[in-house]
Amino acid sequence: MNIGQVAKNSGISAKMIRYYEDIGVLPASKRSDAGYRMYSEDDLKTLHFIRHARELGFSTEQMKELLELWKNHDRQSAEVKDLTQKHILALKQKIVDLQTMVDHLEQSVHCCAGNQQSECEILNKIEFGMN
């Protein structure tokens, strides 16, 4: 498959596939005699794995670790579990942080008159801090 075909089949853009190759998440593709990237079914499976890991919010570095673990059949599932538990904790902290942002913004919206005057409590809170 060429990069266009594998992009369509994997749901990952050609640009992102090239990026993943550049940063080492995806091994460099084989090349045709004309220099075009060529991908195998295994490459497509790897790209599906990458897409699913990204959908779950794993970072690029975490995806590299997950791919190594996925490809290593001698791994211990404890390593995967540990990585995933750390990711869960980070996601939960993100949720807390996002909820704090929502609360601050809702408070600002509540304080804003939303009328024809230029005074805006939302902009004031952003300028001077939300606390």
Contact status, residue 87 vs residue 62, Cβ threshold 8 Å? yes
Q: Are residues 46 and 9 in the same domain?
A: yes
Q: Are residues 50 and 84 in the same domain?
A: no
Q: Are residues 44 and 95 in the same domain?
A: no
For residue 54, the surrounding DSSP H or E stretch is helix 41-55
**For residue range 60-79, what is the model confidence (pLDDT) as tens digits?**
999 999 999 999 999 999 99
Mean pLDDT of the chain: 94
Residue 131 pLDDT class (50, 70, 90 cuts): low
Q: Are residues 82 and 47 in the same domain?
A: no
* Mean pLDDT of the 52-59 span: 96
Q: Are residues 48 and 85 in the same domain?
A: no
pTM: 0.82
Q: Are residues 55 and 87 in the same domain?
A: no
Range of the domain at 99: 76-131
Q: Are residues 128 and 86 in the same domain?
A: yes
Q: Are residues 91 and 48 in the same domain?
A: no
Sign of the CA dihedral with 75 first, then 79, 84, and 87 last: negative
Q: Are residues 2 and 51 in the same domain?
A: yes
* Mean pLDDT of the 86-91 span: 98
Q: What is each CA distance from 40 to 53, 64, 80, 85, in whole angstroms?
A: 20, 19, 26, 32
What's the total number of domains in the chain?
A: 2
Q: What is the pLDDT of residue 30?
A: 92
